[in-house]
Amino acid sequence: MLLLTLEGMSQVTSQSEKIKNCREKALEYLTPYLLSGEPPEDFRAVITWIFLLGTQSFEEQDYETTTLLCQRGLEWSAEYPPLIYLTGELLTVLGFYLGAIPYYQKCLDLGKTKTYNKKEPFDLGYTNTYPAYRLGCTFAELKDWDQAQSALKLALSFSPDYAPAQEALIKIEQLINP
């Protein structure tokens, strides 16, 4: 928890070397647990760390590490929308569009029922706007235009000014109505 606080303060003050050190220490601490499958006894901030480290490895295109982090994270906290969303993103980038859909849908379902993990804070966009947008993009990849439009409109119902959803919807409408 203290390491997460330090990482957050380093983010605010743009101290990239301190951010890197915090993340390295967190990964070093978590690695034995990730490999064994047993969660740490002191579980505070663990899921947040797994999401942060998973996002970092995803951005670095280290999909093997991202897979391990998502797998363990979901075993330990199956109702944490950011991690569910990241798993959908991973499947999408790997080309498993049909596999990604249930992850985005689960984020939306958790948001609708408010049954997500409330022990660790996160951006509530992971329960509405972001997964609806990604769902729309995924359906577009599958050329299911009706579902894509519906999901993108859903994203915009949560966040009317969400530019990525606006742009994707315009592109789809131009494709189907040239």
Contact between 100 and 138 (Cβ < 8 Å):
yes
- pLDDT tens for residues 5-40? 545 554 566 767 766 666 677 778 787 888 888 988
Please give the pLDDT value at position 96: 97
More confident residue, 117 or 152: 152
- Predicted TM-score of the model (pTM): 0.86
Please give the pLDDT value at position 40: 84
Q: What angle do CA 123, 142, 98 make, to 5 degrees?
A: 65
- pLDDT tens for residues 89-105? 999 999 999 999 999 99
Give the DSSP H or E segment for 30: helix 16-36
The secondary structure of 37-69 as a DSSP string is: -PPPSS-TTHHHHHHHHHHHHHHTT-HHHHHHH
Lowest-pLDDT range of 8-12, 33-37, 127-131, 140-144: 8-12
Among candidate residues 118, 116, 119, the one with its CA nearest the CA of residue 44: 119
Contact between 134 and 118 (Cβ < 8 Å):
no
